[in-house]
Amino acid sequence: MAYHITKPSKTPGLDIVYYADNNRWTDVYENRKVYPTLFQAEQQKATTYTDKLTGKVLQATWWKECSIVDES
C-alpha cells in the first residue's frame, strides 16, 4: 500500500495540493511524495518545531489541515 498527503489549496481555482517534500506543496499529482507505509505518512504529518522565543513545541498550520490519502 502507498500513501500521500494532501491539503486544501489557498489558491483560487485549485481544490487541493499534494505534499512534495522539503516543505513544498504541488498541484501536480505526479510530483507528490509517496510514502510506502501509513506510519511514515503519519510521522511526516506529526512534524513539529520549537519556537525560538517561547520554547514551545508547535505544529505548522499546514500539517494540522492536511489529510493522508490511501492510494490503494
Which cell numbers hold the place of 61? 498550520
Q: What is the pLDDT of residue 47?
A: 93
H or E element that contains 39: helix 38-45
pLDDT for 62 beyond 90: no
Residues belonging to the chain: 72
Q: What is the pLDDT of residue 15?
A: 93
CA distance 6 to 62: 10
Entry pTM: 0.88
Distances (CA, A) of 62 to 1, 59, 68, 72: 24, 8, 12, 24
Q: What confidence tens digit (pLDDT) does each residue in 9-47 have?
A: 999 989 999 999 998 999 999 999 999 999 999 999 999
- Residue 43 is classified by DSSP as H
> If you average pLDDT over residues 55-64, what whole number do you get?
92
